[in-house]
């Protein structure tokens, strides 16, 4: 199973200090190296804006392979997501005007292409434009970080 991490779930990892959770980082690193855990280029762009200097920023910078560019299928599927009127709100006016990255459609597209699961901290809400709602619409599996840890049987 491939897990495609959203910005929100990767940001939670800044609370997993390497000196306090070394076994987590060993296990997570193995998942990244094996290709079971990935993200997308747009998440990296969001993290570049959102992460202050910390251990997570250094870790992200040391793992460019975690953030592949979308292929043609993923680009087409991201466009398919944005073709649905209610999902167009993913790209807000501010993002357009400021040129800020919008990772959500690419995260879902990455998971769908790989028959994988999105890992996000966003919650399902009726009629919301959130990753879990998009995943539900397109029948893509979607979990949070706690469920990822449970699925792997990791306890710290």
Taking alpha carbons only, the member of 142, 9, 136, 8 closest to residue 84 is 136
CATH topology of domain 3-152: Rossmann fold (3.40.50)
Identify the pLDDT of residue 95.
59
Residues 156 and 44 sit within 8 Å (Cβ to Cβ):
no
State residue 94's pLDDT score. 60
Strand order in the sheet with 117-119: 37-38, 3-5, 117-119, 141-143
User: Residues in the chain with pLDDT < 50?
Assistant: none
CA distance 51 to 43: 11
């Amino acid at each position: 199973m491939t897990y495609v991490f959203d910005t929100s779930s990767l940001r939670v990892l800044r609370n997993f200090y390497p000196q306090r959770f070394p076994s987590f980082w060993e296990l997570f690193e193995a998942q990244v190296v094996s290709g079971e855990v990935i993200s997308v280029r747009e998440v990296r762009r969001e993290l570049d804006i959102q992460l202050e200097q910390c251990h997570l920023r250094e870790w992200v910078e040391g793992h460019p392979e975690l953030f592949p560019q979308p292929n043609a299928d993923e680009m087409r599927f991201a466009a398919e997501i944005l073709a649905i009127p209610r999902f167009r709100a993913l790209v807000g006016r501010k993002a357009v005007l400021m040129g800020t990255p919008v990772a959500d459609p690419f995260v879902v597209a990455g998971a769908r292409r790989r028959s994988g699961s999105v890992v996000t901290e966003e919650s399902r809400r009726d009629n919301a434009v959130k990753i879990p709602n998009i995943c539900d619409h397109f029948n893509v599996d979607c979990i949070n970080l706690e469920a990822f840890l449970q699925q792997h049987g990791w306890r710290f």
